């Protein structure tokens, strides 16, 4: 399968490029990173020359006729690139977060008839954390989410934590339960110390630490007990199996799909 990568010099993009170069089932035909344009991909990845020069823009990538494009860039540039891919009829697998709802609606229209997967987290373990959290949600009275990422991450909270909160709220509502118990804290000595509030009184706390990668913890509480579910990505290689799963499936999809949960199967 002919693959193109946008954001090839980034932390996740470079990990994806390494795997594609080593897997005989895939052929990396174009890698785009404006900051590294003109550099051999092998040099960019700290290995021997690959004979593939990093390109500057998505138009150069489309010219190489990729069958699927993987995008790990930033939201503003990604949105424009995706519209061009949709117009060219090229399926896309996207790990960029931060789109507005209006942009997602527009992308859904643009990719009508063309497969596109946008996921906040491609780690299969993180998806299983969401499933477990949804399973537990109806049985507890309170919940808080703690997410920790590297200190270069620009958005907070993480897309994964927001998605986890959504799953928890929907599971609770689906079971006929009301919202979680409200917070009774009345004396906030530091503004924001109790985190941000999303659906049904679910609080999210965002940590940004050098040395971290991606870590999510859901803590449920009920009378006399707590239950903690945690997932840790210690290396960005943990995202690659989910990316390749989406790559293998996206050409068979019709339109925009959010998240990879539906690609995993199971109940």
Residue 70 in tokens: 């993987």
> What are the φ/ψ torsions at residue 152 (nearest 5 degrees)?
-100, -5
Average pLDDT over residues 120-124: 90
Look at residue 47 in the predicted model and tell me its pLDDT.
65
Q: Give the angle subtended at the CA of 44 by the CAs of 41 and 46, to the nearest 5°.
A: 110
> What distances in angstroms separate CA 45 from CA 3, 15, 165, 199, 213, one per listed residue?
17, 9, 36, 41, 19
Active-site pick, 84, 150, 153, 166: 153
Dihedral Cα 59, 86, 247, 233, nearest 10 deg:
80
Say whether pLDDT at 91 is over 60. Answer: yes
Q: Are strands 196-198 and 27-32 parallel, antiparallel or unpaired?
A: unpaired
* Catalytic residue status for 205: no
Which of 29-33, 39-43, 142-146, 195-199 has the highest average model confidence (pLDDT)?
142-146
The model's pTM is: 0.83
Say whether pLDDT at 200 is over 80. Answer: no
Rounded Cα distance between 6 and 236, Å, is: 16
Active-site pick, 149, 205, 216, 231: 149
**127 within 8 A of 150, measured Cβ to Cβ:** no
Contacts with 162 (C-beta within 8 Å, 6 or more apart), sequence order: 120, 198, 204
Say whether pLDDT at 32 is over 60. Answer: yes
**1 within 8 A of 47, measured Cβ to Cβ:** no
* Catalytic residue status for 149: yes
């Amino acid at each position: 399968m002919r693959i193109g990568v946008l954001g090839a010099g980034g932390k996740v993009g470079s990990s994806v490029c390494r795997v594609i170069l080593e897997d005989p089932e895939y052929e990396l035909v174009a890698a785009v990173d404006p900051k590294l344009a003109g550099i051999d991909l092998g040099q960019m990845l700290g290995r021997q020359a690959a004979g593939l020069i990093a390109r500057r823009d998505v138009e150069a990538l489309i010219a190489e006729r990729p069958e699927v494009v993987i995008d790990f860039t930033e939201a503003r540039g990604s949105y424009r690139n995706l519209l061009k891919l949709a117009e060219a009829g090229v399926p896309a697998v996207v790990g960029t977060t931060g789109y507005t709802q209006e942009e997602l609606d527009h992308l859904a229209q643009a990719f009508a008839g063309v497969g596109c997967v946008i996921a906040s987290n491609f780690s299969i373990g993180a998806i299983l954390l969401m499933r477990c959290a949804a399973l537990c949600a109806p049985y507890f009275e309170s919940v808080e989410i703690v997410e920790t990422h590297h200190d270069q991450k620009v958005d907070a909270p993480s897309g994964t934590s927001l998605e986890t909160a959504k799953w928890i709220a929907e599971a609770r509502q689906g079971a006929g339960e009301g919202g979680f118990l409200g917070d009774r804290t009345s004396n906030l000595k530091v503004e924001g110390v109790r985190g941000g509030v999303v659906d049904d009184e679910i609080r999210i706390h965002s940590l940004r630490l050098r040395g971290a990668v991606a870590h999510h913890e859901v803590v449920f509480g009920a009378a006399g007990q707590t239950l903690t579910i945690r997932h840790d990505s210690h290396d960005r290689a943990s995202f690659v199996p989910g990316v390749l799963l989406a790559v293998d499936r996206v050409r068979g999809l019709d339109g925009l799909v959010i998240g990879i949960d539906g690609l995993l199967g199971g109940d």
